[in-house]
Amino acid sequence: MKPLQLSLLALAIAGGSAQAIASEELGNLFSGGKAIVDARYRYEFVDEDNAKDHANAQTLRTRIGFQSGQWYGISGLVEADNVSHIGDEGFNSTRNGQTQYSTVADPDGSEINQALLRYDHQYGSAVAGRQRINLDNQRYIGGVAWRQNEQTYDGGLVQLKPLTGLTLTAAYIDNVNSIFGPDNGQYDTITNPANIEGHSQLFNAQYVAMPELTVTGYVYQLGLDNIAVAPKTALGTLASQTNGLRLNGVIAGLSYTAEYAQQKDYADNPNDLDSNYYLAELGYTLAGVALKGGYEVLGGSDDGKGTGNLAFQTPLATKHAFQGWADVFLTTPEEGIKDAYLGASLPLFGGTAQAVYHDFRADQSSPRSQYGEELDLSYAHPIPGVKGLVGLVKYADYDANDFGVDTRKFWTQVQYSY
């Protein structure tokens, strides 16, 4: 990444006249900067209808860092995270060996969450280093910010805005710092490495034609070498190329989204992938209540050769935001999945209440055609007297039919951000 950093610096210097160079102070990087302080305590309870013991996890995520000011468009950011459990480890963090308990994927550890150099220009920006990348609604590329250890990316990202309403994004990634980090150990598996290695390219073009229509096209080439779709499958089986088109906007107060994508194998994936993605969603706000309903399909795929799970997967997505908060479908079943959902959010007593109902079914014909149903509830409220302090309670109840087991999860959380 050093050549990219040097080229960014050269571009910044070349972009200013000798008079401008004399007028800007290098000290702006520090005097115009801001400290980053964030702490998040969470209690998570998991009850699965199987032989595992209930999980009771108390964890604390602390984050400190510094966002610099700008000098000829150049700025920097560095932040470090620590995740620690409080009290007994009555949960399986995926790294602590407590496999008799249900999983709460928040391992202990400390690491650099972000460390980057950025250049901003009136026609775009460029970032090199370890960084947060959230594209569109994070269905394919996201930071998984719900988990205590955020997912970040090592690489470079360039964003251009050559015309009003048009944003072109291109990124190269050579390592993904997953939520299961910072370290591997004797209890990790090929489905949850701390670092996902491989060469990936992301291309996204978005054009806001009018308030009624935004068009987004994307190509995501994920070369994920050291991760597998399931514990007993080959490495590289999550490497894929996804091409898609997304339309969204607001017409007479009614919001809509329509999206289609196709997924093929990529890089050294030994499997022959060929599956599709569909999304249709409508939303409307009435008397302060935001209503939303949708139908999302991640297609199943069967090549008839007994190869294994070839369904549409989104390994780098912020998955907790989709298909229910109980996280039963973090890996798409081989028959695919259809998710019909209806939700509402509303202001309540100075906070925000939310409820979502899901009905999950298989995409392809299967003996387990009706997977199950889920109800999700949450309430968030700023805590009076302390600016930046917010409390949250949250509940997920998955009622299994033909897939998985009944699963109930409960969270209570307090977060402070400065």
> H/E/C letters for each residue in the chain?
CHHHHHHHHHHHHHCCCHHHHHHCCCCHHHHCCEEEEEEEEEEEEEEECCCCECEEEEEEEEEEEEECCCECCEEEEEEEEEEEECCCCECECCCCCCCCECECCCCCEEEEEEEEEEEEECCEEEEEEEECCCCCCCCCCCCCCCCCCCCEEEEEEEEECCCCCEEEEEEEEEEEECCCCCCCCCCCCCCCCCEEEEEEEEEEEEEEEECCEEEEEEEEEECCCCCCCCCCCCCCCCCEEEEEEEEEEEECCEEEEEEEEEEEECCCCCCCCEEEEEEEEEEEEECCEEEEEEEEEEECCCCCCCCCCCCCCCCCCCHHHCCCCCCCCCCCCCCEEEEEEEEEEEEECCEEEEEEEEEEECCCCCCCCEEEEEEEEEEEEECCCCCCEEEEEEEEEEEECCCCCCEEEEEEEEEEEC
CA distances from 373 to 197, 242, 291, 392, 404 (A): 35, 28, 19, 24, 11
Are the CB atoms for 310 and 234 separated by under 8 Å? no
Single-letter amino acid code for the residue at 353: A
Paired strand residues for 74: 71, 119
How far is it, in rounded angstroms, from Cα 165 to Cα 210?
A: 9
How far is it, in rounded angstroms, from Cα 42 to Cα 412?
A: 6
Are the CB atoms for 242 and 262 separated by under 8 Å? yes
How far is it, in rounded angstroms, from Cα 284 to Cα 240?
A: 35
Are the CB atoms for 108 and 85 separated by under 8 Å? yes
Q: What are phi and psi of 6, to 5 degrees?
A: -65, -40
| Half-sphere exposure at residue 389, Cβ-oriented, CA atoms within 13 angstroms | 7
By C-alpha distance, which of 155, 60, 76, 154 is closest to 113? 154
Q: Enumerate residues 6+ apart whose C-beta is below 8 A from 238.
A: 222, 224, 227, 228, 229, 269, 313, 315
How far is it, in rounded angstroms, from Cα 375 to Cα 309?
A: 27
Predicted TM-score (pTM) of the model is 0.92
How far is it, in rounded angstroms, from Cα 106 to Cα 100?
A: 16
pLDDT in single tens digits along all 418 residues of the chain: 444 443 444 344 344 433 444 468 999 999 999 999 999 999 999 999 999 999 999 999 999 999 999 999 999 999 999 999 999 999 999 999 999 999 999 999 999 999 999 999 999 999 999 999 999 999 999 999 999 999 999 999 999 999 999 999 999 999 999 999 999 999 999 999 999 999 999 999 999 999 999 999 999 999 999 999 999 999 999 999 999 999 999 999 999 999 999 999 999 999 999 999 999 999 999 999 999 999 999 999 866 566 789 999 999 999 999 999 999 999 999 999 999 999 999 999 999 999 999 999 999 988 889 999 999 999 999 999 999 999 999 999 999 999 999 999 999 999 999 9
